[in-house]
Structure 1
Amino acid sequence: MGGSGRGIGRLNRRRGRLIERTIDAAVRNVPLYQKAKSLAAAMEQILSGEDTHAARCARAASKTAADAQLARRIAVLAKGDRLIRWTVTAVYRDRDGYPSTISYQDEDGQRQTLPVVRALFQGDHSRYRALIDAARSLPQQGNHDE
């Protein structure tokens, strides 16, 4: 950046100011480019039909059905049952009788615990209890391995 001769200090100051203006412009523009990129992705999603009201409703219904099926499975889980490829060693219940923690033995023979509400229902206790209550009200269909 340097040089030699007369007026070199003025030249270096001019280059320094140019670099500072470039940095200031980058600091201002980078968040705008990032926002534009996220908005373009959102527009692509809308235009492709992935973000229509019907698609959102279908995804929500699918998640609700999957959560209800999971709650039915958890409601009847007992010691010795198979859960995916693990053997349940204990089902701990809270003071109201809802399964709160599942203890299982993994394929390596190690004992593991799974906090049900936090791990599977994003910590939403009221929704979990409603799903378990609904599962308990259904007639029992037997315990199937998954």
Structure 2
Amino acid sequence: MKKFNFKLDTVLGIREGIEQEWESKLGKANSECQLIKNKIDSYKALISDSKDTVTDINQFQIKCIYEDRLNSQIVKEKVLLKDKEAKRDEIKKIYLQKSIDRKIIDKLKDKSLKSFKKESLRQESITIDEINNSSKIREEMLGGVN
């Protein structure tokens, strides 16, 4: 029996590799965004923790300066987050396109495999019919000789 040979296997392998590369880039971009979100959350937690520590005017001034610095860090991180999210969205678009490209070849392979199996079954059926017919003819010939 003949072995299934898909002519575009190398193309499929290349596209799978490219898709995995972009999937990795997307994962990295997602983790960068999450790190920034975590920083923002920690800054907000530090601000809320500093609310109850004021006992005199000097501490109040220090607390205000500290909170202002944390708020400015939050603003900077939000700007950075917006930039990283835009880059992540671009990477996601490219990843989805690469995934579609791979799936096209994958579907062609599946379709080709189904066709190959169908043709193999048809050929097997023809071979079995020929064997059955030849054995009947042989029996008739041998039966006619006796």
What TM-score do the two structures reach when normalised by structure 2?
0.30
Structure (1/2) with the larger strand percentage? 1
Please say which structure displays the higher CA radius of gyration. Answer: 2
TM-score by length of 1: 0.30
Structure showing the higher helix proportion among its residues? 2
State the structure with bigger RCO (CA 8 A, min sep 6), 1 or 2.
2
